[in-house]
Amino acid sequence: MAALDQTQVKEGVDQETVDAVREVGGAYKYGWATDIEMDYAPKGLTTDIVRLISEKNEEPQWMLDWRLQAYDRWLTKEEPNWAMVDYPEIDFQDQYYYARPKSMDVKPKSLDEVDPKLLATYEKLGIPLKEQMILAGVEGAENAPAEGRKVAVDAVFDSVSLGTTFQAELAAAGVIFCSISEAIREHPELVKKYLGTVVPVSDNFYATLNSAVFSDGSFVYIPPGVRCPMELSTYFRINAENTGQFERTLIIADKGSYVSYLEGCTAPARDIAQLHAAVVEIIIEEDAEVKYSTVQNWYPGDENGKGGIYNFVTKRADCRGDRSKVMWTQVETGSAVTWKYPSCILRGDDSQGEFYSIAITNNYQQADTGTKMVHLGKNTKSRIVSKGICAGHAQNTYRGLVSMHPKAKNARNYTQCDSLLIGGNCGAHTVPYIEVKNNSARVEHEATTSKVDEDQLFYCRSRGMNEEEAVALVVNGFCKDVLQALPMEFAMEAQQLVAISLEGSVG
Amino acid sequence: MALPNLKQTATEARLSTLSMPSVGCLTEARQAALSRVQTLGLPGRRDEYWKYTRPDTLVQAEAPGAVVFQHDEAPMFDGFDRLKIVFVDGVFDPEASDDLKLEGVQIDRLADIADQDIHWIKDLYGVLEARGQSPVARPLAALNTAFAHDGVAIRVTGKPSKPINLIYVHKSEKSDVMLHHVIRVETGAEATILENGPAASRLNKCIEIDVADNAALHLICAQGRDHERRAASHMFARLGKESVFKSFTLTVNGVLTRNESVVELLGDDAVVHLAGACVGDGDFHHDDTVFITHDAVNCESRQVFKKVLRNGATGVFQGKILVKDKAQKTDGYQISQALMLDDDSQFLAKPELEIYADDVACSHGSTSGAIDDEALFYLRSRGVPHNEATDLLTLAFLAEAVEEIADQDIAASIVDRLENWLIRRH
């Protein structure tokens, strides 16, 4: 962190604090690339490419038909342009849609057989692919009970899943956790029953694209009455150049089950922007609960806005059963452009949806993100807490919909979206849609925009913090509502990310 | 870019029924407005800005008829000392109007200034409307600039002793009217303008307001009670340094109302307050669409919009505060609330913020729901009958908007109307 290196350390500030801040404050930490031989499908998107992806994944005919149908739909669709983001036109024919490390040619039987170079990549990222290890860098985790600190990981590298940890232990509990390509082969009845039922093939331009070309992703099935014995997690890494990543995640929480799912992602720093278009579908049956947490840390581009990931994601949870519950928590710090609206369809009576979001944009990043809460059932409840932080030349938009249908008697929504602007060259925007169609529904929406409170900053400065540290602390306070909803492993990482993204934005 | 076919056809159909008044000094402005309409096309159902209100009947070539509603309420603002300017079905009525002379104000009928070359009018007519077409198109306002047959130009140079009252009488069931007013409040001047009446079966009204440095304008409008009337009105205002502009609109009934307010704060320390109270039932559809641009330092904007809805009525609020990068120290506030007295009504809102300056305090809130059961229970337990208790709580709900009216007597007369509406529905 250049600014910190030049900062004179004041008396009374201990070196440890300064070191810790310096540690988290560097430039994008995950910008290195793994030098590895790759197999690419030819550039561009045609039916042949769709067939090739399906073939590489050894898919049955029904899956290929599904993809081809999606591809035909995609050709008729137009790219959406309503979001407050601005980027050069994407040439969808100038991308690779499939990239796989050569060493994955013969599918490894277990993670032990995976190319050490790939394993080293995850180790460097702090993601343990060995079952005895816990997530790196989590302070205090060693004191947590052994059961509580286990996290099963599905590691997705470019277009393929390298493997999934703790599969045996999870299987003993009846939980299925594997890559979606494996699920298509091993559990076709479940995939057929649920795939595309929450995000239909023709939902939107990017979802349709994903339906045609998704290469891998994670599949989770929690059987009735099971509380998943550990946190599940997928770590997405884009490594190859000019390659889009299109992952598909399908989570099914059957009656009375519970699962907490974490998602993380990073990519190397490259000059040319890369495309990421994912679809996440969650089905929640009666009395089941799903927590879905994301720390999105894709490469955001450099300080002049060069490069970065274009992140166009469709995420939706369908609370089908009565008393079902979903909680989305997201910390969005990466990506050059973010277009993402994790949504809740509250179909079951008494079902609940929650959305907690921190979106941090710096330099030339643009984020247009929010949620949709569609209340269909009686006594449904939703809560939206969104915090947008904007620095540099970035633009940050909250866009959301709260819809109370006529039959959603006694439904409740509370929305709070706040924005914080740091510096005078950025923009914070709020675009909520509120549709209330019955009078027993109660909707409250609040939004504020302000700058970092000067009194709070002064207080921190008078206690000997330098300006940057003080801003990070105030911002952390501003974000507390959201950070508290994150699982422990993520809360730590997220707090560090909040500090990173603000680097150099003061003054 | 060529317009979509449907839009093109609808726009041409509407234009074919209209003829442009041949007036000298405004001809250029009218021609320019016509070409804006042709480029933008009239609003269609698929336009995002018309997501919650169907523009069809406002756009279609022939206006749907509207029965003139007979009621026994005294005309609004009766008994107030004011200067009356009366339009009957959109045409100025000199007999019913007062002599257009009042110290501190100069009032001209637009139709009369044709062959004169009045600079301030030329500098305003169609000018603010044209500015207001970006970033969101408002083609019905451009249509009005091109084809409005009547209206007044009011230039306030001092502090007139009484308000000016524009009265819109609706007589013919088939009336289809476009009115266009321009108002300039000169530096340091101050005036109150009142408007009331349904005006026509279909009204397209456009007001352009220029409030100069240190000037103040109060605008209070009561849209008439005719059940079947339709209205699309646009108000474009531009505010100079340390100026104040306050507007309040009361809407009772009307099958379709779309009120667009577009305000630009261009001088430092300017203040704008926009408020509205509307009550309606049945096929009542009321849309408040507001766009406020802060483009100067230390300005204040405040929007307070309240809607009471019942028997399937629809309330719409689209409000936006845009703070440009130099508009530091902006204080922006926006609240939109709906009280739904039964289960069939709906409230659709889109309260937006777009902010490019870092030292600002902007907040917006939007709520909707039924009458608070606990408050109702409290009043009932104190012996207040159910209907009265409901009315009391409804009036309390509307009070925040009515309180935006500075003149106590006018505010009281507005509350009277609201009370009457509630009592009529017992």
pLDDT score of A152: 86
pLDDT score of B303: 97
Which residue of A417, A434, A448, A506 to mutate against B (max B Cβ within 10 Å)?
A434
> By the CB < 8 Å criterion, does B387 face chain A?
no
Per-residue pLDDT tens over the stretch B37-64? 999 999 999 899 999 999 999 999 999 9
Residues of A in contact with B342 (CB under 8 A): 439
Q: Which sign does the torsion angle of CA B153, B159, B161, B163 carry? A: positive
> By the CB < 8 Å criterion, does B337 face chain A?
no
Q: Which residue from A406, A425, A443 is facing B369, i.e. has the nearest CB?
A: A443
pLDDT score of B348: 96
- Whole-angstrom CA distances from A21 to A3, A4, B76, B346 are 11, 8, 67, 51
For residue A16, is pLDDT > 90? no
Mean pLDDT of the region B238-243: 98
Q: Which residue from B361, B366, B369 is facing A439, i.e. has the nearest CB?
A: B369
> By the CB < 8 Å criterion, does B345 face chain A?
yes
pLDDT score of A486: 61
CA-to-CA distance for B46 and B24, rounded, in angstroms?
37
Range of the domain at B238: 5-371
- Whole-angstrom CA distances from B264 to B126, B239, B267, B295, B362 are 15, 6, 9, 7, 16
Q: Average pLDDT, whole number, for chain A?
A: 83
For residue B18, is pLDDT > 80? yes
Q: Establish, for the pair of chains A and B, how many residue pairs have beta carbons separated by less than 8 Å.
A: 116
pLDDT score of A481: 66
Query: Which are the contacts of A100, defined by CB distance < 8 A and separation ≥ 6?
Result: A38, A39, A56, A158, A159, A160
Residue B334 lies in a domain: yes
pLDDT score of A201: 94
Nearest-CA distance A433 → chain B (Å): 5
| Chain Cα centroid distance, residue A188 | 26
pLDDT score of A338: 94
Per-residue pLDDT tens over the stretch B59-96? 999 999 999 888 888 889 998 999 999 999 999 999 99
Q: Which residue from B347, B350, B364 is facing A436, i.e. has the nearest CB?
A: B347
Contact B360 A419 (CB under 8 A): no
Nearest-CA distance A420 → chain B (Å): 8
> By the CB < 8 Å criterion, does B29 face chain A?
no
Which residue of A446, A449, A450, A451 to mutate against B (max B Cβ within 10 Å)?
A449
> By the CB < 8 Å criterion, does B329 face chain A?
no
Among candidates A105, A111, A117, which has minimal Cα distance to A129?
Answer: A111
| Cβ burial, residue B339 (10 Å; 0-12/13-18/19+) | buried
Per-residue pLDDT tens over the stretch A111-161? 778 888 888 888 888 777 776 554 443 444 445 444 446 788 888 888 888
Mean pLDDT of the region A228-243: 89
Mean pLDDT of the region B226-253: 96
> By the CB < 8 Å criterion, does B374 face chain A?
no
Contact B357 A424 (CB under 8 A): yes
The bridge status of strand A279-284 relative to strand A38-40 is unpaired
Counting every residue written for chain B, the total comes to 426
For residue A505, is pLDDT > 70? no
Residue B225 lies in a domain: yes
Residue B210 lies in a domain: yes
Q: Which residue from B359, B365, B369 is facing A442, i.e. has the nearest CB?
A: B369
Helix (H) or strand (E) holding A353: strand A352-361
Per-residue pLDDT tens over the stretch B391-419? 999 999 999 999 999 999 999 999 999 99
Residues of A in contact with B365 (CB under 8 A): 444-447
Query: Scanning every residue of chain A, which has its alpha carbon at the shortest distance from the alpha carbon of B373?
Result: A440
Q: Which residue from A421, A431, A443 is facing B358, i.e. has the nearest CB?
A: A421
In total, how many domains does chain B have?
1
> By the CB < 8 Å criterion, does B4 face chain A?
no
Mean pLDDT of the region B13-32: 90
Mean pLDDT of the region A350-358: 93
Residues of A in contact with B370 (CB under 8 A): 439-440, 442
Per-residue pLDDT tens over the stretch A462-479? 777 777 777 777 776 666
Query: Scanning every residue of chain B, which has its alpha carbon at the shortest distance from the alpha carbon of A394?
Result: B356
Contact B358 A424 (CB under 8 A): yes
> By the CB < 8 Å criterion, does B135 face chain A?
no
Q: Which residue from A419, A430, A443 is facing B352, i.e. has the nearest CB?
A: A430
pLDDT score of A26: 42
Q: Which one has a higher pLDDT value, A486 or A203? A: A203
pLDDT score of A124: 83
pLDDT score of A13: 37
Determine which of A194-198, A389-393, B103-107, B162-166 has the lowest per-residue pLDDT on average: A389-393
pLDDT score of A240: 87
CA-to-CA distance for A1 and A96, rounded, in angstroms?
34
Per-residue pLDDT tens over the stretch B339-379? 999 888 999 999 999 999 988 888 888 888 899 899 999 99
Mean pLDDT of the region A402-418: 92
Query: Scanning every residue of chain A, which has its alpha carbon at the shortest distance from the alpha carbon of B323?
Result: A427
> pLDDT-based confidence at A496, cuts 50/70/90?
low
CA neighbours within 13 Å on the CB side: how many for B375?
12
Q: Which residue from A432, A436, A451 is facing B358, i.e. has the nearest CB?
A: A451
Mean pLDDT of the region A297-321: 91
| Chain Cα centroid distance, residue A77 | 25
> pLDDT-based confidence at A29, cuts 50/70/90?
confident
Residue B419 lies in a domain: no
Q: Which one has a higher pLDDT value, B344 or A319? A: A319
pLDDT score of A9: 36
> By the CB < 8 Å criterion, does A401 face chain B?
no
Determine which of A1-15, A78-92, A439-453, A488-502 has the lowest per-residue pLDDT on average: A1-15
Determine which of A341-355, A491-505, B340-354, B360-374 has the lowest per-residue pLDDT on average: A491-505
Query: Scanning every residue of chain B, which has its alpha carbon at the shortest distance from the alpha carbon of A391?
Result: B358
pLDDT score of A363: 87
Residue B201 lies in a domain: yes
Q: Which residue from B342, B343, B351 is facing A432, i.e. has the nearest CB?
A: B351
Contact B346 A419 (CB under 8 A): no
DSSP labels for B190-244?
A: EEEEEEEE--SSEEEEEEEEEE-TT-EEEEEEEE---TT-EEEEEEEEEE-TT-E
Residue B426 lies in a domain: no
Per-residue pLDDT tens over the stretch B259-278? 999 999 999 999 999 999 99
For residue A228, is pLDDT > 90? yes
Determine which of A250-264, A490-504, B101-115, B328-342 has the lowest per-residue pLDDT on average: A490-504
Residue given tokens 């490894």 in the structure block: A108
| Chain Cα centroid distance, residue A1 | 26
| Percent over 90 (pLDDT), chain B | 84
Residue B238 lies in a domain: yes
Residue B95 lies in a domain: yes
Contact B325 A424 (CB under 8 A): yes
Residues of B in contact with A433 (CB under 8 A): 349-350
Q: What are the tokens at B189?
A: 């001047």
For residue A389, is pLDDT > 90? no
Query: Scanning every residue of chain B, which has its alpha carbon at the shortest distance from the alpha carbon of A414?
Result: B367
CA-to-CA distance for B187 and B185, rounded, in angstroms?
7
Q: Which residue from B343, B363, B370 is facing A447, i.e. has the nearest CB?
A: B363
Nearest-CA distance B346 → chain A (Å): 4
CA-to-CA distance for B306 and B369, rounded, in angstroms?
12
